[in-house]
A = this chain, B = another copy of it.
Amino acid sequence: MPHYALLKLSQKFELSQDESAGYLAALSIPKAYQAGEEIARQGEDATHCAVLLDGFACRSRHDVGGDEQILSFVLPGDMCNVESLLLNPFDHTITAQIESRVALIKHADLWRLIGHHPRVGYAFWRDTLIDAAIYREWAVNIGMRNAYARVSHLLCELYVRLKAVGLINAFNYALPLSQQLLAHATGLSVIHVNRTLKRLKDEAIVTVQPRAVRVHDWDRLCAAGEFDPAYLYSKADPA
C-alpha cells in the first residue's frame, strides 16, 4: 500500500525513487486534529503546507451572519493549502470533520524540493488544477441543478474520489455526512436536504446515515445527479 500522500501526487508524473524520497523526507511527523479543529485559517499567512494523511476535512467560507458555504472536501492524500506557497493570506478555512492526521511541510523545504525536482512541482501544480476543476464542478452543481440532483451529485463525487484512494468498501463509505454539512455544501437548507435524502432512500438509490453512506444503485445515483463518471480525470470503476 503506497503512502496516501504519494498516491494522488504521482497520478500523472510517476515520481522516481529520488523524487518520492525527497518529498517524504520533507513531511513532518503527522499532527493530529480533532473534529472541528481548523487545519488552515482564513486570513492567516501560512508557513507550512499540509497534506491530509487520514481523516476528513472541508474547505469553507464564512460570512458575517455566521453562515457557511463548504467549497470542497479534503480527503486522505489531498493537499490542504498548497495555495499558501504562492498566495497569501489564505482566503478560506479548512476544518477537520473527524479526527484527522496531517503532515506539514515547511514552505522553504517545499521550495527547495521543487527547485531540485521540478517534476514534483508540476505534480503539485496539477493537484491544484484538479482542485480548481472541483470548484468549477461545484459552481455548476449549485448554479444549475435542483436539490435532488445536487445532493446526488455530491454523493457521486465523494464515491469516486474515495474509490480512487481505496476507501470504498462494497458500495459503502464511512463518512460523517451530517445533513447540516450537506446543506452547507449544496447551498440548501437542512430541512430540504432531509427531504431529499428521504426521497433517495425511499427510491432505494442511496442511504445516508450519520456515519456511513450506502449506495444501493450506482447507476441511478449517477443519473439522478447528472454525474459524468469521467469526472475529475479519474478512471476508477465504480465497483
Which B residues touch A132, using CB under 8 A?
83, 128, 131-132, 135
Contact A129 B130 (CB under 8 A): no
Which B residues touch A136, using CB under 8 A?
59, 61, 71, 91-92, 135
Query: How many A residues touch B, CB cutoff 8 Å?
Result: 37
Interface check A22, CB cutoff 8 A: no
Interface check A63, CB cutoff 8 A: yes
Sample of 13 more A-B contacts, CB < 8 Å, known A12-B86, A69-B143, A87-B233? A61-B140, A69-B140, A69-B144, A86-B129, A87-B129, A91-B136, A115-B118, A118-B118, A125-B128, A128-B132, A132-B132, A132-B135, A135-B138
Q: Which of A99-151 contact B (CB under 8 A)?
A: 115, 118, 121-122, 125-126, 128-133, 135-136, 138-140, 142-144
Alpha-carbon distance between A143 and B147 when the two chains are bound, in angstroms: 12
Q: Which residues of A are at the interface with B, using a C-beta cutoff of 8 A?
A: 12, 59, 61, 63-64, 67, 69, 71, 83, 86-87, 91-92, 115, 118, 121-122, 125-126, 128-133, 135-136, 138-140, 142-144, 186-187, 226, 233
Which B residues touch A64, using CB under 8 A?
226
Q: Which residue of B lies closest to A127 (CB)?
A: B86
Which B residues touch A61, using CB under 8 A?
136, 140
Residue from the set A61, A87, A140, A233 with the largest chain B CB neighbour count within 10 Å? A140
Contact A87 B140 (CB under 8 A): no
Q: Which residue of B lies closest to A84 (CB)?
A: B129
Q: How many copies does the complex hold?
A: 2
Alpha-carbon distance between A19 and B86 when the two chains are bound, in angstroms: 18
Q: Which residue of B lies closest to A13 (CB)?
A: B86
Contact B63 A144 (CB under 8 A): yes
13 sampled A-B residue pairs with Cβ under 8 A = A12-B86, A59-B136, A61-B140, A63-B226, A69-B140, A83-B133, A86-B129, A87-B129, A91-B133, A91-B136, A128-B129, A132-B135, A144-B187
Q: What is the distance, in angstroms, from A228's C-beta to the closest C-beta of chain B?
A: 9
Alpha-carbon distance between A69 and B137 when the two chains are bound, in angstroms: 10
